[in-house]
């Protein structure tokens, strides 16, 4: 992915197997969110292709990719502030999966709000939520489309430790329900605890991939994060 003379991603190749949690890490500016933007259709890659369930989806508009089964959250949380909590989720239900329902979307909304811990706030204006609850709401709205693949962009950042632990349990529960997850995160303790595999980007290139413990000990990863090899 190039933006003019800037190479944001160069030769990056990775995959997620059904049922996995794949961690995507790297220093600021490594290209992580750009990769999510390519996968979700916000930008079209300069070269290469994106494949989902065997089909090429490169260059499809975001709404078509969402309806194929890929949902995402954003580093800067994007809710619909003038709607209630329940209405935010209802948008996801009708947009991504409306053909699956026959007059029962409110029940699905209640189920999703309960799953993310917002069942007592259904009629509250979304703009009044604290950051951690806004992140929960964004996850609920993404899940409302019934995705096979969920892309999480720094859902643990900027919140208190107890809130982060609760969101980690929610992520585990989402995976147990059968959703594949690729997540960007800067909190190394969390990404190592949650991920089955970890992929590392640096300056738009993939420099490591593997089990969390092996990646954390890789000299190239240490160099990227610390600027010097460890003794």
Q: Any idea what the CATH number is for the domain that residue 206 is in? A: 3.40.50.300
Q: Which of 4-9's residues contact partners 24+ apart within 8 Å by CB, and which partners?
A: 7/204, 8/34, 8/204, 9/34, 9/35, 9/38, 9/45, 9/201, 9/204, 9/205
Residue 70 forms part of a structural domain: no
Residue 76 forms part of a structural domain: no
Q: What is the pLDDT of residues 106-128, one digit of tens each?
A: 888 999 999 999 999 999 999 99
Q: For every residue of 91-131, which 3-state class applies, written as one string? A: HHHHHHHHHHCCCCHHHHHHHHHHHHCCHHHCCCEHHHCCH
Q: What is the pLDDT of residue 30?
A: 95
Query: Which has the closest alpha carbon to 155: 173, 137, 143?
Result: 137
Q: What is the pLDDT of residue 96?
A: 67
Q: What is the pLDDT of residue 106?
A: 84
Structural domain count, the chain: 1
Q: Helix (H, G, I), strand (E, B), or coil: what is residue 192?
A: helix
Which tokens sit at 18?
């059904």
Residue 201 forms part of a structural domain: yes
Please state, in angstroms and rounded to a whole number, the distance separating the CA atoms of residues 94 and 220.
45
Q: What is the pLDDT of residue 230?
A: 44
Residue 138 forms part of a structural domain: no
Q: In 3-state terms, the chain is what percent helix, strand and coil (to 5)?
A: 40, 15, 40
Which regions of the chain are under pLDDT 70? 96-104, 228-231
CB 129, CB 85: distance < 8 Å: yes
Domain range for 33 is 1-50+148-231
Q: Helix (H, G, I), strand (E, B), or coil: what is residue 182?
A: strand
Residue 22 forms part of a structural domain: yes
Q: What is the pLDDT of residues 71-112, one digit of tens each?
A: 999 999 999 999 999 999 999 988 865 555 555 578 889 999
Q: What is the pLDDT of residue 226?
A: 75
Residue 215 forms part of a structural domain: yes
Residue 73 forms part of a structural domain: no
């Amino acid at each position: 992915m190039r933006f003019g003379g800037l190479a944001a991603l160069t030769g990056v190749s990775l995959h997620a197997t059904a049922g996995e949690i794949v961690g995507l890490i790297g220093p600021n500016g490594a290209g992580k969110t750009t990769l999510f933007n390519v996968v979700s259709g916000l930008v079209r890659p300069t070269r290469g292709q994106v494949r989902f369930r065997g089909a090429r989806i490169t260059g499809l508009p975001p709404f078509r990719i969402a309806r194929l089964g890929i949902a995402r959250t954003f580093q800067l949380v994007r809710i619909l502030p003038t709607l209630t909590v329940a209405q935010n989720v209802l948008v996801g239900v009708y947009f991504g999966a409306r053909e699956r329902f026959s007059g029962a979307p409110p029940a699905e909304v209640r189920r999703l709000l309960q799953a993310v811990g917002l069942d007592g706030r259904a009629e509250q204006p979304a703009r009044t939520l604290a950051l951690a609850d806004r992140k929960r709401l964004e996850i609920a709205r993404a899940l409302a489309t019934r995705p096979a693949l969920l892309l999480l962009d720094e859902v643990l950042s900027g919140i208190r430790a107890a809130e982060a632990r609760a969101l980690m349990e929610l992520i585990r529960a989402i995976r147990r329900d059968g959703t594949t997850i690729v997540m960007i995160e800067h909190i190394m303790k969390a990404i190592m605890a949650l991920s089955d595999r970890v992929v590392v980007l640096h300056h738009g290139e993939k420099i490591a991939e593997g089990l969390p413990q092996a990646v954390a000990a890789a000299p190239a990863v240490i160099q990227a994060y610390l600027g010097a090899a460890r003794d």
